[in-house]
Amino acid sequence: MHTRPIPSTGEPLPVIGLGTYRSFASYTPELGTVVNLMFEAGGTMIDSSPMYGAAETVTGDVLDEIRGRERAFLATKVWTSGKQKGINKMNESFRKMSAGDTMELMQVHNLIDTEAHLDTLKGWKADGKIKYIGITHYTHSAFLELGDWIRREPEIDFCQFPYSIERRAAEKDFLQLCADYGVATLINRPFEQDGLFSDILGKPLPDWAGDLGITSWSQYFLKYLLADEAVTCLIPATKNPEHMADNLKAGSGPMPDLAERKRMALYFDSL
């Protein structure tokens, strides 16, 4: 699988990861297969949050079951107000996810009490308890506020935000801002949850998709996002091993350039 460097350290990160919202709501043995498929293809990133019901606990159970902790780049979030409450919640996330002593990435979820949590996270990064600090949001209208934090806080290593072939606001200037400030990008909702798949139901891929190594609509949607080098890693969610195998194929082979990205968007818009 292709990797892209995390700008603040140069550490290579595989471009396809895994989200856990809804898909990790309860434990099933298939989830172990999903995560193992990702590891076998070279992927590492698993993104969760205390907001996603049992997802952190299920992630920890799956990693224990398949003895996968060492192969994972574990990411979760702090989703509460107040510095001490944040510390308690984050320590709980470490336990639930079976993270051990170190979590790769801790993110401030939806910019809730960012100042208080960044203060904690900067200390934890200096102590080696986390490797990277991130901020996230789920709306396009938050780009301004995310950008303000990136400009003023050099310790932010990652920014997670929504971007898909249907909703392309990040292309306007936000991806460039992340690149300019050396911030890695994690793309959430790459399929607009199930939305993109309903949009293309019964519609054919264009003939030229094969030139980009694309054999399914999921790969089309994911490779579209990887056309821009400012995109570091995608975190589509799935509980289905077949879907995981399909999504992982988007991480290898030829990647579209920006001209091809434009052509992909035009075709999608024409459907």
Ligand X SMILES: NC(=O)c1ccc[n+]([C@@H]2O[C@H](COP(=O)([O-])OP(=O)(O)OC[C@H]3O[C@@H](n4cnc5c(N)ncnc54)[C@H](OP(=O)(O)O)[C@@H]3O)[C@@H](O)[C@H]2O)c1
Of the candidates 36, 20, 45, the residue with the CA atom closest to the CA atom of residue 233: 45
Q: Is 225 a binder of ligand X (CB under 6 A)?
A: no
Beta bridge partners of 162: 188
Q: Are 50 and 264 in contact (CB under 8 A)?
A: no
**Footprint on residues 2-21 left by ligand X (CB under 6 A):** 19-21
Reading the block at residue 191, the tokens are 């399929």
197 lies in the binding site for ligand X (CB under 6 A): yes
Residue 6 or 234: which CB sits closer to ligand X? 234
Of 170 and 259, which has the nearer Cβ to ligand X? 170
Among residues 33, 44, 98, 160, the one that binds ligand X under rule CB under 6 A = 160
Q: Which of 120, 136 has the CB closer to ligand X?
A: 136
Q: Looking at 11, 192, 199, 260, which residue binds ligand X (CB under 6 A)?
A: 192
The SS3 assignment for 103 reads: strand
Question: For residue 176, what are the contacts with CB-CB under 8 A and spacing of at least 6?
Answer: 230
Structure-token match 């300019």, residue found: 180
Site residues for ligand X, 92-111, by CB under 6 A, read 109-110
Q: What does the CA dihedral 7, 11, 13, 19 come to, rounded to 10 degrees?
A: -80
Of 8, 80, 93, 136, the one binding ligand X (CB under 6 A) is 136
Residue 246 binding ligand X, by CB under 6 A: yes
Question: Contacting ligand X (CB under 6 A), which of 238, 256, 261, 264?
Answer: 238
- The verdict on 43 binding ligand X (CB under 6 A) reads no
How far is residue 250's CA from residue 38's CA, in Å, rounded to a whole number? 12
**How many residues of this chain interact with ligand X, rule: CB under 6 A?**
30
As a whole number of angstroms, the distance between CA 60 and CA 68 comes to 9
Torsion, Cα 238 109 127 20, to 10 degrees, reads -10
Beta strands 103-108; 130-136: pairing state: parallel
**For residue 257, what are its two tokens?**
């350039």
- When asked if residue 191 is in the footprint of ligand X (CB under 6 A), the reply is yes
Would you say 29 or 128 has its CB closer to ligand X?
Answer: 29
- Classify residue 29 as exposed, middle or buried by CB count within 10 Å of its CB (0-12, 13-18, 19+): exposed
- Residue number with CB closer to ligand X (21 or 94): 21
- Binding to ligand X by residue 47, rule CB under 6 A? yes
Smallest gap from residue 150 Cβ to ligand X (A): 15
Give the interface segment with ligand X, choosing from 112-120, 127-135, 240-248, 263-271 (CB under 6 A).
240-248
Stretch 50-79: interaction string toward ligand X, x if CB under 6 A: ------------------------------
CA 157 to chain centre: 13
Give me the residues that bind ligand X (CB under 6 A), please.
19-23, 47, 109-110, 136-138, 160, 188-194, 197, 218, 235-240, 243, 246-247
